[in-house]
Structure 1
Amino acid sequence: MIVRPEVFDDETPPPDLRHREHQVQQLIQLLHRARTGSAQGALITGPSGVGKTVLGKTVLEEFAREYGTRWTWIQTLGKTTGDVFRDAIRAVGGDVAGNTPNDELAGRLRQAIAGDDYLLLLDEGDDLAGTGAVGKLTAVPGVEVAVICHEPDDWLARAEAEVRQYFHGGRVALERYGVDELADILRDRAQVGLVDGAVTREQLETIADDVAGVAREGIQTLHAAAEIGVEREHSRIYDVDVDDAYERARSRIREANLSSLPFHHRVLYELIRDVGGITGREFHQRYEAIAERVYANRERMPISRRDRRNKLDKLQEYDLIERERIDHRWLYTAVDPDLAAPLDVRLAPSRIS
């Protein structure tokens, strides 16, 4: 039944950006303004799974091909300002060591691009606001930036004044798809990835409705339904296969999300998962009790309470943890207690007295 499984991978680009035509034009217009000398950033916003990264990568790739502009995509989650600069320098062919002082990085980037235009797509940029990273990048002549984040108002409120001005009027907002829109997208994947007649339009609309218009979850649910159908020796996808596909798809997405997270997030996740449920106060106490040992001999340093809270938001956003208010306290639990984060260090003690 499944003829091209790679069609359902997150890394496989869609044949076209169906039902995103307006946002494509918005982003192209912002890139044109930047190219003609009007400093103008693009803030690509929206909830998880609606195609922000796909939109950014696809449009920047086409724009760069047409105008000969160099560009790169940088996953910024968990990275310092220095890390982002080094990634940008190396992506354009520049040479920079890991211990190069931060105050030399802007000059190294300017030297590497040699007066040309250079577009940076900064993914998972929620934590960049207020760090100075975006302002320092855009201060380099020729560098223009597009940032992907989830909550634009919160992001701009935390950003520096010059960064807020840089992104003024530069939002490209993506919402969840409508049922018919997502069913169209799923049909495109099915036509390439499955045998003819494997799934009905009604089933695609059911999936689109049940996942509330989140493209990533819809695509993974369709894939999981086909896998289950094959396992049951069905010649096509049955309704019962769809019914049983949702949890497999969500589990697969959670596993991929967890694997994509950097060390800090994995530590925080394991602190919660390991005990089966923990209050906010116990969580911070336990983190502070293990931090010195967990971070020993690592480049990363323990993070502040504020940074921990920001990263807990990301874990919730990724459907990895749940938060419940009980007796004036927040209780955190793992959505899937059997899903462990890959860590090379134990987090004991498991309880704080």
Structure 2
Amino acid sequence: MIRRPEVFDDETPPPDLRHREAQVQELIRLLHRARTDHDQGALLAGPSGVGKTALGRTVLEEFSHEFGTHWTWIQALGTTTGELFREAIRGAGGSVVDNAPNDTLPRKLRETLVGDDLLVLLDEADDIAGTGAVGQLIAVPGVEVVVICHEPDDWLARAEADTRQYLHSGRIELRRFGVDELADILADRARVGLVDGAVSRKQLETIADDVAGVAREGIQTLRAAAEIANECEHTSIHDTDVDDAYERARASIREANLQSLPFHHRVLYELIREGSQVTGRKLHAQYEEIKEGVYANREYTPISRRSRRNKLNKLRAYDLVERERLDHRWLYAPTDSELIAPLTGIDEQQIQLKCMTK
């Protein structure tokens, strides 16, 4: 049934950016402006799974190839400003040791570029608003930045004034796809990834409707439907296979999301999962109690309440945690209590102990 499984992987770029033509042209316009004015970046925003990364990577790669500029894609989630600069230096063709002092990195990036340009795509950049990282990058001559985030208003509100000015008029928001639009995208994947005649247009429209226009969920649901059809020894995807595919796809996406998250997010997730249901106040109190042991002998340091709140928003955006209002308090619960964050033994034991004694 599945002829080319890699077609359904998140890392596989789409055959084309179908139904994103206007956003592609707008990003190209902003990149052209950045080459001449150096005062205008771009902010790609929208919910998870609507193709922000695919659009950014595809356009920046083609643009840099056409104009001979460097470009690099950096996963910004959980990274420090120093780590961002090191990745930018390597993306510009330079080399830098991991323990190079942070205050030397802007100069090193300038020396690496020596008159060349560098386009930086900062993916999953929700956490770095307000850290000064973007402002320090764009202060280096020749560096232009494209930021990817979920909530543009929140991101800009937390950013410094110079960064806010740099990105505000370069906002490109990606909405969810319509049913027909997403069905077209799924048809492209099916044509390459599945055997001929494996799925009908009506089934693709059903999937597109079930996932409310989220491309990633649609692609993974199509893959799950084909897997279920194989398991049932069907010669093509049946409607019942589609019906059973959605929850399998969601579970697969949640697991991949959790695996991709940095350490801080996983600690918060495990506190919520072990507690089953926990109020925001209790969650912060438990974090304060376990942080000394959990962070001992690690490169990370405990994070502030504000930073925890930002990371809780990411857990919700990734469908890992649910939140509801209860008597003027927020109550957090895991979406799937059987999905365990990959922490090492002592961390799990300490978190379990604190949650059981509260």
Same fold flag (TM > 0.5): yes
Aligned-partner residue type, residue 154 of structure 1: D
Answer yes or no: is the 8 Å Cα contact 2:70–2:91 preserved in 1: no
Show the counterpart of 1:215: 215
> C-alpha separation between the residues in 1 aligned to 2:38 and 2:2?
48
> C-alpha separation between the residues in 2 aligned to 1:46 and 1:247?
23
Q: Does 1:349 align with 2:357?
A: no
Answer yes or no: is the 8 Å Cα contact 2:76–2:124 preserved in 1: yes
The structural deviation recorded for 1:352 is 5.0
Answer yes or no: is the 8 Å Cα contact 1:118–1:144 preserved in 2: yes
Superposed, 1:137-216 pairs within 5 Å as 137-216=137-216
> C-alpha separation between the residues in 2 aligned to 1:283 and 1:352?
13
Q: Does 1:322 align with 2:322?
A: yes
Answer yes or no: is the 8 Å Cα contact 1:207–1:242 preserved in 2: yes
> C-alpha separation between the residues in 2 aligned to 1:95 and 1:219?
38
The structural deviation recorded for 1:112 is 1.3
Superposed, 1:62-141 pairs within 5 Å as 62-141=62-141
> C-alpha separation between the residues in 2 aligned to 1:292 and 1:39?
43
Q: Which runs of 5+ in 1 are unaligned?
A: none
Show the counterpart of 1:33: 33
Answer yes or no: is the 8 Å Cα contact 1:321–1:333 preserved in 2: yes
Cα deviation 1:60-80 (Å, max 9, x = unaligned): 000011111100000000111
Secondary structure (helix, strand or coil) at the match of 2:250 reads: helix
> C-alpha separation between the residues in 1 aligned to 2:196 and 2:95?
50
Answer yes or no: is the 8 Å Cα contact 2:324–2:331 preserved in 1: yes
Dislocated runs of 4+, deviation >4 Å = none
Answer yes or no: is the 8 Å Cα contact 1:92–1:113 preserved in 2: yes
Show the counterpart of 1:17: 17
Show the counterpart of 1:54: 54
Aligned-partner residue type, residue 3 of structure 2: V
Cα deviation 1:254-312 (Å, max 9, x = unaligned): 00000100000011101111121211111111111110010011111100111111100
TM-score, scaled to structure 2: 0.97
Cα deviation 1:20-49 (Å, max 9, x = unaligned): 000000000111111123421000111110
Show the counterpart of 1:257: 257
- Quickly say closer, same or farther: Cα 1:47–1:215, change in 2 above 3 A: same
Aligned-partner residue type, residue 273 of structure 1: R
Answer yes or no: is the 8 Å Cα contact 2:45–2:174 preserved in 1: yes
> C-alpha separation between the residues in 1 aligned to 2:238 and 2:98?
53
> C-alpha separation between the residues in 1 aligned to 2:154 and 2:32?
26
Show the counterpart of 2:276: 276
TM-score, scaled to structure 1: 0.98
Answer yes or no: is the 8 Å Cα contact 2:156–2:168 preserved in 1: no
The structural deviation recorded for 1:329 is 2.1
Answer yes or no: is the 8 Å Cα contact 2:38–2:142 preserved in 1: no
> C-alpha separation between the residues in 1 aligned to 2:130 and 2:14?
34
Answer yes or no: is the 8 Å Cα contact 1:285–1:352 preserved in 2: no
